[in-house]
Chains A and B, each alone.
Chain A
Amino acid sequence: MFTSYIKIALRNLRRNRTFSLINIAGLAIGMAVSFLLILYVLFQFSFDSFHKNNRSVFAVKTGGEGGPNLPIPLAPYLKRTIPEIRYAVRTSYPAPHLLQAGEKSVKLNGMYTDPQFQQLFTFPVIKGSEQALGDVNVIVLTESTARTLFGKTDVVGQMVKLDTKQSLMVAAVVKDPPGNSTITFSYLLSWRLFEKNELWVQENSWGNFGVNTYVQLEQAANAAAVERKIRDVLHEQQASIPASTYLMLHPMSEWKLYDKIKDGKVTGGKIDTVRLFGLLGLGILLIACVNFMNLSTAQSEQRAREVGVRKAIGANRTMLIGQFMGESLLLVGVSLLLALILMWALLPWFNTLTGSSLTLLQAPVAFWIAVVGLGLLTGIISGSYPAFFLSSFRPVAVLKGSIIQVGSTFRPRQALVVFQFTLAVALMIVTVVIYRQIRFIQQQPVGYNVKGLVDVQLEGKVYDEYSAFREEAIASGAVTNGTIVMNSISTPSGSVWGLSWPGQREGEKEINFGILTGTEHFASTFGLTVKEGRDFLSPADSFSIMINEAALKVMRLKEPVTGQQIVLNGQTRTITGVVKNFVWEMSYMPAGPMVFPYNPSWRGVITFRMNPDLSVSECMARLEKVYHSFNADYPFGYSFVDESYQQKYAYEKLLGSLVKIFATLAIVISCLGLLGLSVFATARRKKEVGIRKVMGAGVTQVTVLLSGEFLKPVFIAIIVATPVACYIMHRWLQHYTYRISIEWWMCAGVALLAILIALLTVSVQSVRAALMNPVKALRTE
């Protein structure tokens, strides 16, 4: 019996080759895409779950914005005063350092941390001690760093040179942090070394916010109670820190997905993207399943006669249900296999797109459960229509062919087509709006000449002799200008409060200003417009400061602005210039108030204006030569400002390209469905077309007749989808202060495109039917 079912199923597949192909392909594509998204979503949810203490570890953050920057003395203080805290650990920001072992030298990101880091975070130790960071001159390597430097992992006791100066002994080798770890590093350095190397760490000041702090609570501790205890520690320890900068605990399970904090409460974060992905995946899967159901039910009606015969010769309902279910599951099984192959092929591309590192082999069990579950569900749902509907018919009715009526059973299928196209059209509108908005925010004036700027990290000798480096770079002809800043102008990195200025009102000390330190040639290198006053000229400007227009507005300074004095970090500085607002954070937000103090000691980056008369490669070649004359051991690290500026819109771009892909998929799968249905309907109406042609109907009339039937659901879909999509996009656009408005022509264009695509799909069949020789059709009767 069973083999007979399989045989029939396979023969049916073969007989309706086109139909089966469309059906399987549509489902496979839909499944592949939604499986990718399921894998991605599961991966996102698995973040940090591998830590043994993942329930009891918290990051300490400042309330309000949830910033992770905290003063150096905080962690030891918390450990000392709060008994519920088992460990309190500080880490520096991961920063690139040069590591050398023998001939090998490599620049990697690492961080300084307390010895208890290895107890709090449980990155497994392969070789060496779990208390490795107690000494000063030690280093803990990850497995891959050890391999890069030494070619093996058994390297405890070997020496590594840090930044060409300090010799450190390898005290332990740990496993690489896995891909789903929020905390990543290539090596760990001891906190005592940090104190030795950095003056500001030695100072151990409550006023300097520069390190991350993590705590692990005792098993029985109540996190909310601990949170109340630590809340006001900062203000109590140093009165100058405003009480609004209170502390909160951010549980490890929320680090990745719930990283947006407002007023001490988690408000979302990456979870929004993950949810969006989930919804899109579900939508595509739904479209594909609907397609599958539509096509298999359409086909099953052709088999009504078979059902009748089988019933007349003794099949009961259960057997027929089993047969149709089995066939449906077989089809789904084939699609499932194809989907997995497709997914395997698409993974590298998907990983590049989303910046993740997913693999099928390491997929969690939950993924396979979801895959099998979805497969079974699709198979059962799409098999249930023919199984229950057709098997319920009395054989006489089926044998007489009376259920094959165009009107009655066609309606639910049209409803399904409407549903598919609604999703497809909505996604298309969403795509258009997102793309227009991305273009709009990218076309906003930047406020400085972002093209032709290159950032070079200051480190090694270049850090010490920055002035000479700048002079020699200009002398080489590679660049025309350069200025020393604390950080790349393209990535906002600092803010200050506590400024005072003439005519300041009560409470205005707490206003946040963006800060970017500069040196001479600041405005001229970037191409910033100085509206009043002048650029920094020389070291004589040591106590000068420039501000932007937004800051001027906040401060309400009287004319003339230049020459007035403001106090920043306890230092009185004279305003030398007012800079026109430029994009520092996001081009869709109004520029915030900013100050630009002259301060070469906070130097981090030198930004050069490349020589426009030379090619970029020539510029960089010359610059590299100059760089290596200072830093022979360091690899030449640089980044182009226009590239890092574009990074700001990475999220929007990802969203845009994803939605575009999904919209394309949705319309393709929907059209596959439409194609299948039209193949089917045309075959069914062959006789009608034959008769009409004999009566004198022309090719156009027949084509219109056959295509028109399929355009109706598309029209309805457009009417349903347009307002829904417009509403959703209207809400989405509210995130952007500067935004486009949704225009009628966007929707009209999408509608037109959808109709055109649908028409093209359907007309292939209709035209063929219309051109057919009517005698042929009539002879089949």
Chain B
Amino acid sequence: MTQPVSSSLTHVLHELGHYLPAQSPLKDFVHHNTLHAYQHLPFHEGIQIASENFGYKVYWRLEKYRELYHAGKINDEILDRIITEHKGAEKLKHWKQLLIHQAPQEFPEPKVGKLRKLWRENYNLNLDKEVHNTLFRIVSSYLDQGIAIWKFPSESKGLLSAVRILEKNSFSTFIKSDRSRELLFSTKTRLEDLLFLLVGNEERYSQYLFDQQFAHPGWSGMVAGLENHPERLLDKKKVSLHDLIFLECLLEIDALDRRRGTKWTALAKHIPSEMPGIFEASQPSEILQIHSLWQEAFEWTYYDQVIKGLQLSHAKKAEKDRPSFQAMFCIDDRCCSIRRYIERFSPDCQTYGTAGFFNIPFYFQPEHGKFMTKVCPAPVDPIHVIKESGAKIRHEKDAHFSKHSKGVFGAWFISQTMGFWSAIKIAKNIFRPGPTPAMVSSFNHMDPKGKLSIECIHPDQRHHGLQVGFTVEEMANSLEGLLKSIGLVNNFAPLVYVMGHGASSVNNTHYAGYDCGACSGRAGSVNARAIAHIGNHKAVRTILKTRGIEIPDETQFIGGLHDTTRDEMEFYDLDILVKKNRLLHANNVQTFEIALDFNAKERSRRFNTINSKDDAKKIHDKVKLRAMSLFEPRPEWNHATNALCVVGKRENNRHLFLDKRAFLNSYDHRIDPEGKYLFNILKAVAPVCGGINLEYYFSKVDNQQLGAGSKLPHNVMGLIGVANGMDGDLRTGLPLQMVNIHDPLRILITVEHYPEVILNAIQSHAATYEWFINEWVRMVCIHPDSKNAFYFKGGQFFLYQPVTKQIEKVTNLDVILETTSENLPVYLLA
């Protein structure tokens, strides 16, 4: 039905889609760089332009940096070094004076929204107020995934055609004026025609649309995202940014006609010719430069200790004895501390970190499920599916969510009966939290007793065009890739654990963001179980042997899942274990239990409801309750402490206390002299860890515009997003409760390899290289032989001399953890 738009407008629509927030519906929440549209520019330049274009705050508050400086958390020497480097030694004094004493000033007025103000100035009409409510309500009802009981009645052939059908056949209408109704019903109307009426000057169309759409970036971004990825909705809806804009323009014309009759004309004649367009270049303002220098100094103060710490590694030269067991974890920063405790309570074990889908991308089809769910990094398009069978149904009903409680007579009955039951339920949850049907538990992702179709039996057997299961060759390739990239190619222990991770929470709209990012916001249990099965596969081992990886017969793989909120673990397919390994496993489980208790205890220092000095086991019980408490907006802190990604041998960072701030990816440069696996690691690490890190960064520095604000007043819209109250725009980014304790630092990625190999690896893929060259993530190379550090800048590596002279060695870490709640510096573990 919709008319094609001219190529220039197509371009504008495309641009708009690029700049709008790219957030998926809640169920598929995946972290990404909030300002991805500026990633082609160097970090500071990009975000400063974003600030001037759209009025975002892109740095922390000035007082905050100064506070850190005076508290010694921004190093003075590093600050001098940074200013000298950027402004020259002769201007050091001048800029330092500004940094420390300049009074807070207003930022330059954003360029977006200037055109829109003209409506109010010239016609005394607040178009946003006239149009937004109706527009949001129509779009929200149209896209609704299941809240409304009476669904949008006309079929979803597209937003615009649905509205047309509705308007044509209804006595009550949204669009009232004759002219706008004609425009709506005429199949000849093009978007240009509407813009001609509203703007009148073709050169300003683009600016007008940016102004219009950035008055409600949440809904526009959602529509733009769904246009390109309709599969993100279970109940499919056809929608496009063009339709949304078309509808909004019509509603605007209608509002103007109703309010002003014939007494209005297009904006063109009111636009001062000197009014800048949105993307017109301007000088970076001094106040933003002051912020950027502070930011650099803040970051390098932390990086400096980390680099010093990594240089102090004293990995034993000789290969050790056979380890007691080996355990693979996700690269996730939350696994940083649990690995430290496992190693502490079982010193002769080895732990590894790698992306938590364990190098097998596929879709998972749970039994009874009507849909498939992707369990690998979001950009990957799997060609395999693993189906589950023999599982029991794993979800309960709760009448409180039923539509009967919203009716007349049903609700009349329910409120007088179940209403009293509700009172008891609230009281129970407040005093003794327990599992409810409303909660999300990572252990429900897969039924451990169910069967998985991991092996491909008939290659022609297809499920929605995907191959069911993996062939032996494919399985061998996956496992080989996994083992070689983490450097586990010999000296296998009797037991090799593969631990996925997931999270539990209740009353949490952003639950998907708490699960494994490498599994597209799902728990990693199926992947872990599948790769363990592959590792135990005889034929696969035979193939691997020919490729130089010999897995001894007595070695067995065990898949498992670590719930990071409750700190519980679950292990799969234990019946295949031989007797000897069964005993060893029973022994290891005890180690894990203790490690989990201590991990919970360490996490509790950030939880205000728990006394961290209590006994670890007792604290652990409280942490478990917390995950099921309706009143707890922070079931866990998720990635809130992330700041670092270390790629290298665990032996070379095992001596450091990194306070859950590090993504740890195991990698042995000796196995990979050409950097082939390194490339694969960095290709994933930069966008995944970088994306997580920058989403936290921007949600922290501008929680109102780039984050979702406080989650306490959030209202769920159509199951796809949250807004404040009834009439608001969708809120994108992270809620305040996820970032309270976050320090906005860009992530530092350190790699243990030779500089030229690293350079080669990152340069071989333009999209990956962009992250590094434009400094959206920072890169430091630790030379494997000399331990010299080199930082990456402008396409080259430069030698870095840390300011930090020594790293404090801690013997009483437990006491420090019990008595502090802030981010801790790097320590040497005793």
Asked if A pairs with B, the answer is: no
User: Which A residues are within 8 Å of any B CB, using their own CB?
Assistant: none
User: Which B residues are within 8 Å of any A CB, using their own CB?
Assistant: none
